[in-house]
Chain A
Amino acid sequence: MRLSRHSYSTLRSIQGPLLFVEKVLDARMGEAVRILFPDGREAEGEVLRIERETVLIQVIGDSRGLDMDHTRVVLTDAIKRAPLSLAMLNRTFGGSFQPLDDLPMFVPDRWAPVAGFPMNPVARERPQQMIETGLSCIDGLNTLVKGQKLPIFSCAGLPSREIAARILEHARAGEGAAARPAAGSVVVFVALGLAYHEYAFYRQTLERVRGDFVAFINLAKDPVVERLLAPRFGLTVAEYLAFEHGRDVLVVVTDMTNYCDALREVSTAREELPGRRGYPGYLYSDLASLYERAGRIKQQAGSVTLLPVVTMPEDDITHPIPDLTGYITEGQIVLSRELHQRGIFPPVDVLPSLSRLMQRGIGKGHTREDHRETANALYMHYATGRDLRRLEAIVGRDGMSEADRRMLDFADAFEREIVHQGEARRSIFETLDLSRALLGRFGLLA
């Protein structure tokens, strides 16, 4: 605890969002800082590194207008915290937790550090209750469960926005087979580097959400550093709602690629050694510090489920962002440009998609007894059909056996009838019924 207020104007240099301040006494790692601009504006900052009396500070917010002579830096002796209260429900905030909805800021019940604390692995409850998204390709074949982290791997130009909106609107954490809109569920929506027209789109979506929501919006024009902070606010809020108020929280973050690019930008400014494609070497640990906050706790109600959207640069799944994401998350939903061009919505390619936690969340007592075998049959026959498409490209349809042609037809029908669902919301039972009807039509039901 410091006795006096620490205020400094001993700037050594300013590089983008980073300030080097000299002759600072007793700074703390991660300490929150107030930065007073020459024109009277104020911004927040955070201590990133300390070397004797020189401190590296990251400005959260716009750093334009700072100068060397009149800028003052005040150390607050506290680490970055998020204000928490149930009054934040159904509100929209900016990347620094400032209200964007013309209402006044709420009075917080308490504050919690935004970095959170790692969950003790032995305190974790195994995730095994389904969340119904209303999309057959997810519910039927890559089931999402409470406490899971399941990213959507998209490509530039694919409708990841529409899919995210559909999930925000329709996802229901059900208790077992009876998927009613649970009174306790909340969606936390975190938008990073959003273009203005996208913001308008999501605003309309949030108005249609039937349960509670909390939104954090960082627009493309907003400060880059806020992109690093907004998901942490979102997750801190999610943990508060889940583990202190027993709510089932679904956190949708779009787009993590913007987050990673912001991290790279800040890392480069800090003159850190770049790793693959210029991203810092700790990208994995940093992403894990967000993704791993999803989960459930033994003997406690509530859950944090995380659905990040990742746009794969150059459609490349081996790019560091989707690659490291895939190593941390429990599966992935992969979108396909080809399906999108054929007018299929959602254009989910189920073959590379996977939900690692699906096994425990489906079947008797969870969804329906025939769920597993139906999903396996669809997957197996569709994979066969997809393999045969390559053959078809070489020998032509006429050169193929009757049986092979049927499998080709099956793959087409699967994409058109099961994956494609347009605007409709399907319950898991509708998905399973449709799937069985399709398998039956092709004589593939065991």
Chain B
Amino acid sequence: MNGRIIGISGPTVSVDLKGLRLYERVVVGRAGLMGEVVRLEQERAVVQVYESTRGLGVGEPVTGTGTQLTVRLGPGLLNQMFDGLQRPLEAMRAAQGPFIRPGETGAAIAAPRRWRLAPAKNPGDAVRPGETVGCVEDGPFRHPILATGAEGRLGAVVDGDFDEDEPVAMLEDGRRIHAFEEWPVRLPRPYRRKLSRFEPLITGQRCIDFLFPLARGGSAIFPGGFGTGKTLLEQSIAKFADVDIVIYVGCGERGNEMAEMLDDFSVLADPWSKRPLMNRTIVVVNTSNMPVAAREASIYTAVTMAEYYRDLGYNVLLLADSLSRWAEALREISSALEEMPGEEGYPTYLGSRMAEFFARAGVVETIGGQVGSLTVLLSISPPGGDFTEPVTQACLRNTGAFFMLDTSLAHRRHFPAINWFQSFSLYESDVAAHLDRLVSPEWGALRQRTRELLQREESLREVAEIVGTEGLQDTDRLLMHTTEGIRRRFLAQNAYTDDAFSTPEQTCARIRRLLETHDAAGARLGKGESLSEVLGGRA
């Protein structure tokens, strides 16, 4: 199917091609740019182009592909860096040099590899959909190959090497089982059912694990103005989270930050498995100067890969930095389509698109009967640090946890700058029992105590602002001394030192120590000693 470009406006082009379907992938112009149909009219179709439209001319050819925007799923994704359309960045660098030039398709540069299958089934065995046929070594990662959508008796199974495009097994009736598949990014992958089972996801960040715990299969957002340490927090969690697979999306953010992260990740080890961090990580990068439409797609590319690993029965964590840039890309495309704008110029479907996206998180029973989870953690960059803006508000309706990053904490160099009064986690009660059992039976009680102390400090601080700390009673001054310790030595965590990661046991021991010291000092005050004696002259 061939047509021509009849108009160009920002990242969108109009084409005179008939018979296209909505969200069909289209090849645009002589340079072969990738695009996706976003609107159909009688006389024309509008295509959002995933690359810079600079230099594109009216009259250049357009071809429909008959398929939607898909990602390729299979072994070999780990330890890789992709752009928003799943094109391998290392291969692009090797082919084009340090700058990205439009019009190179990923398939052309990523040469197919040979893989080795260790079969788990023999010819003659019965397979059910989603059952493991064999395993492929992807670095140190054992990658199961599932029988997707195929049920019956196996006629043949590869034992040993196979090419990427060859089937790994064949059923007696001739249907083939492939190790690789293409999946449309905008379509959630199927599972048997969703489970409402919540286990804690340990992030290694004391403030989160202790005060606002995260659950596997849950979702969390952390909005914050610039300089509140969103990216650093997100990267710390990507390094230390207790999950099998991490997918990190740099969505419309800084290139230098990605360089730093890739540099760090290449030398660090996963604290849980002790293996190199990159072995469990996939990075999707679309920096702020890369094309806007690909930024919109990058989130879907990433979540589809995340679902794929979930379907293999793993615990997957998807981190995106930042969702605001995704929403802005949506707004930019919507504006180029001259759609009626909603709040702050965002399209009115912003809320429903987000709800759909959040719905892709969860704990599921896979087709094959295993349990896998997909947790979603999103940073948000509210304009002017104002949380009443549409993106934060739309997220708050969908998210299970909210870590509010506080500019005033960041100015005091308190990181992670999570505000302990405004943040919340809806998983708290679900995972509390787990943590009491896994870590320590006092976990819940310690948390309650800490909360109360911090709350009390807040009201005392107001008094102290007026009368000065000197004017407070000794017990109150002791309390403020303790909470300062809690803030400085417990809630704050330096991401550049060994303290960047804290196991639940370490977290528990540390807060227990702080509270015990507080109680002991309180007892001495009760016996009539002065505060300066109790604190050793450091009042």
Q: Is B100 in the interface zone, CB < 8 Å from A?
A: yes
Q: Quote the shortest CB–CB distance from A361 to chain B (angstroms).
A: 12
Contacts of A240-296 to chain B: CB distance below 8 A: 243, 272-276, 281-282, 284-285, 288-289, 291-295
Cβ-defined partner of B100 (8 Å) among A117, A273, A282: A117
A428 CB → nearest B CB, Å: 20
The answer to whether the Cβ of B9 comes within 8 Å of any Cβ in the partner chain is yes
| Residue numbers in B under 8 Å from A320 (CB-CB) | 383-384
Chain B residue at smallest Cβ distance from A55? B58
B111 contacts the other chain (Cβ, under 8 Å)? no
- Tell which of B54, B226, B412 has the most Cβ of chain A within 10 Å: B226
Partner of B256, one of A26, A117, A148, A276: A148
Main SS of chain A's interface residues?
mixed
Checking A31, A126, A285, A401 against B259 with a beta-carbon cut-off of 8 angstroms, the contacting residue is A126
Whether A87 sits at the interface, judged by CB under 8 Å, is no
**Interface: A16 (CB within 8 A):** no
CB proximity to A under 8 Å, residues B1-20: 6-10, 14
Q: A109-148: which have CB < 8 Å to B?
A: 113, 115-127, 147-148
Cβ-defined contact, A119 with B98, below 8 A? yes
A196 contacts chain B at the CB level, 8 A cutoff: no
Please state if A120 and B57 are interface contacts (CB–CB under 8 Å). Answer: no
Residue of B nearest to A300 (CB): B98
CB-CB under 8 A for A273 and B259, given A49-B8, A52-B6, A300-B98 = no
Q: Which of B58, B227, B288, B466 is A284 in contact with, Cβ under 8 Å? A: B288
Q: Which residue of A lies closest to B88 (CB)?
A: A122
A298 contact set on B, CB distance < 8 A: 98
Interface residue B90 (Cβ < 8 Å from any Cβ of A): yes
| Selected contact of A273 from candidates B258, B345, B381, CB within 8 Å | B345
B341 touches A273 (CB 8 A): yes
B288 touches A328 (CB 8 A): yes
**Residue pair A282, B256 in contact (C-beta under 8 Å):** no
Are A26 and B57 in contact, with the CB atoms below 8 A?
yes
A69 at interface, CB cutoff 8 A: no
Question: Which B residue sits closest to A293, measured CB to CB?
Answer: B289
A385 within 8 A of B: no
B54 and A30: CB pair below 8 A?
Answer: yes
A-contact bits for B357-393, CB 8 A (1 contact / 0 none)? 0000000000000000000000001011110000000
Q: In the assembled complex, which residues on chain B have CB atoms less than 8 Å from the CB atom of A122?
A: 81, 89-90, 93, 262, 285
Q: Do B468 and A51 have beta carbons less than 8 Å apart?
A: no
**A284 near B53: Cβ-Cβ < 8 Å:** no
Q: Please name the residue on chain B nearest to A78 by beta carbon.
A: B55
Among candidates B92, B329, B411, residue contacting A352 with C-beta atoms closer than 8 Å: B411
* Residues of A with C-beta under 8 A to B290: 118
In the docked arrangement, what's the CA distance between A332 and B227, Å?
9
Closest CB in chain A relative to B31 CB, distance in Å: 11
Quick check: A120 and B381 within 8 Å, CB to CB? no
| B6 A318 Cβ-Cβ under 8 A | no
Cβ–Cβ contact B100 & A119, under 8 A: yes
Partner of A394, one of B8, B90, B93, B465: B465
A118–B100 touching, CB < 8 Å: yes
Interface residues of A in 310-345 (CB under 8 A from B): 318-320, 323-324, 326-328, 330-332
Contacts of B412 in A (CB 8 A): 383
Q: Is A105 an interface residue (CB 8 A)?
A: no
A residues less than 8 Å from B8 (CB atoms): 29, 49-50
Given contacts A115-B54, A295-B256, contact A318 B386 (CB under 8 A): yes
Query: A29 touching B93 by the CB < 8 A rule?
Result: no
Measured in the bound complex, the distance between the Cα atoms of B225 and A352 in whole Å is: 12
Contact of B260 with A by CB under 8 A: yes
Taking A118-B100, A119-B100 as known contacts, 19 extra A-B pairs with beta carbons closer than 8 A to each other, sorted by chain A number, are A29-B54, A29-B55, A29-B56, A30-B55, A50-B58, A51-B7, A53-B58, A117-B101, A118-B289, A120-B100, A121-B81, A122-B285, A275-B345, A276-B383, A281-B332, A282-B292, A292-B288, A292-B289, A295-B256
Counting from the closest, the 10 A-B pairs by CB-CB distance are A318-B384, A288-B288, A292-B289, A123-B98, A28-B57, A124-B259, A326-B226, A117-B99, A30-B54, A51-B7
